[in-house]
Structure 1
Amino acid sequence: MLQAHYTLVILLHKQEETTGNQFPSRKSVLFFGLMLAMGIVRKPSYASYWANGNGNVLTYTLNFSQIMSRNRFQQILRFLHCNDNGLAAERGQAGYDPLHKVANIIEFFNRTFEENYSIISINYLQYMYSQNVCIDERMIGFKGRHFLKQYIANKKAHRWGVKAWVLAESGSGYTLQLEIYKGKSNSPRHPDGQGYKVVMDLIRPHFGNQHHVTIDSWFTSPNLVHDLRNVLVQSLPHEKACPRVLKGEILAKSQGPVIENMEMTRTPNSKGKVVNAPALVHKYNETMGGVDLGDQFIAQYESQFRSLKLW
């Protein structure tokens, strides 16, 4: 599938000369199929997938050697690139993109996510898509040396890695759009702030679909909420700076049309005590975990082998 959209080239570096050679489309499909299979069948090394186990059927991995030889697999893994490095602009020059090596494949995946969104609907006969989506951070695990590497303490799957902004379906964790954070110096400034730009960029392919998008306080701003409503997207923002009021006191403020009436619900907390809370608080807690849910699914099938390079 990837071969049908992009040319994945093998760059064979020989002294100072570079020769570009394509490997056949069928080989690329087989290679990525084996990579995905390694996330399901866990073994200590690449070579162990081709080991015959000295006749032991319990340790022998069936079909790997029949699909592709070990040497061929390792050769592709060593020289595989997703873009032509010769076309990359140097840092400090116009057109510099720190993600040039993977830009094509990110674009491909975002388009594929959008095209296949309807297949994960909870009840396909009634809904073509789920209404509730959320935007949050995702860490792509990486412990090598790169200026994009960050540390986020509250991410259980990967605390070290490259940060990505993700639009995900709240109920299933399905990833709808993905945007890699390029760093402050490589990201153009937006008059309404980076949080505004991230949300609008991720939700843009779904304008007019009547989604309810849940976001945390880092993204929230009045301009964002107003502009989302104008493109038929409702938002459920989280704002830490809401002023505290006296017990029993109610403050009501609004601007423009009322989207939803306020309701109060009673629910037990962690200590078993019943407390009153607005219904929107419970809806926020129910719909904000889509990205974390997706991280849990990804962790079950992640490759356990460390990468020695950035494609």
Structure 2
Amino acid sequence: MDIPSISRAMNCNRFEEIRRFLHFNDNTSQAPQGQPGYDKLFKIRPFLNKIRERFLLVPKEEHMAVDKQIIPTKARSSLKQYNPKKPHKWGYKVFVLSGFSYDFDFYCGTTTLEDDQPGSYEQSLYFRKKKREVKY
């Protein structure tokens, strides 16, 4: 897909170089993999939180649904999921509070739930207290 105004401003290699090094957190404060507090999305977590804060400000509809969406990607990432039933088979799995995406949470692998919560991650996503509270 070629968008002339973008391709004139930046070539593909430059875009990939920027994307490779783009992050919004200090790497030295990241918890080591396998330790409590480790976050696969650590480098972009502040950016995602800002987007989520803005989505949460949108007035809600009366009827909403919790759903899974796939954000298509060809990127190399451990977060990428395969779903043969979707039109875009490979991508990032995101749980969204739908209608308009009022809220979201990236799927980063299996999640351990507290004993008093419903059985599946999908069921409990918006009915449990989130560990990462949004600050207004």
Partner of 1:101: 43
Q: Which has the larger radius of gyration?
A: 1
Deviation larger for 136-145 or 188-197: 188-197
User: Equivalent residues in 2 for 1:86-165 (5 A)?
Assistant: 86-115=28-57, 117-118=58-59, 129-156=60-87, 158-165=88-95
- Cα–Cα, structure 1 residues 195 and 44, in superposed 2: closer, same or farther, change >3 Å? same
The two structures have a TM-score, normalised by structure 1, of 0.35
Q: Unaligned 5+ residue runs, structure 2?
A: 130-136
Question: Which residue identity does 1:168 align to in structure 2?
Answer: S
- Distance in 1 of aligned mates of 2:44 and 2:32: 16
Give the Cα separation in 2 of the matches to 1:105 and 1:145.
20
Task: Give secondary structure in 2 for the equivalent of 1:133.
Answer: coil
Measured in 1, the distance between the counterparts of 2:101 and 2:128 equals 15
Q: In the alignment, which residue of structure 1 is the partner of 2:24?
A: 82
Match of 1:12 in 2: none
Percent of aligned pairs with the same residue?
31
Does 2:19 match 1:49?
A: no
3-state SS of 2:108 partner: coil
1:44/1:150 Cα in 2 relative to 1: closer, same or farther (>3 Å)?
farther
Deviations 1:255-299 (A, max 9, x none): xxxxxxxxxxxxxxxxxxxxxxxxxxxxxxxxxxxxxxxxxxxxx
Residue of 97, 120, 124 corresponding to 1:167? 97
Structure 1: which 5+ runs fail to align? 1-38, 51-69, 119-128, 203-311
Q: Write out per-residue CA displacement over residues 117-157 of structure 1, whole angstroms, 9 at most, x where no aligned residue.
A: 13xxxxxxxxxx4211111111122233333221112222x
Q: Distance in 2 between matches of 1:108 and 1:183?
A: 22
Q: TM-score, normalised by structure 2?
A: 0.72
Over 3 Å counting, the alpha-carbon distance change for 1:85 and 1:43 in structure 2 is same
Provide the C-alpha distance between the structure 1 equivalents of 2:71 and 2:32, rounded to a whole number of angstroms: 24
Give 1:77 deviation, angstroms: 2.8
Distance 1:80 1:182, change over 3 A: closer
Number of equivalences: 122
**Distance across 1 between alignment mates of 2:24 and 2:128:** 23
Is 1:188 matched up with 2:122?
Answer: no
Corresponding residue of 2:133: none
AA partner of residue 84 (structure 1)? D
CA distance 1:140–1:201, change in 2 (3 Å):
farther
Check conservation: 2:95, 2:122, Cα contact below 8 A: no
Structure 1 residues 45 and 201: CA distance shift in structure 2, 3 A: farther
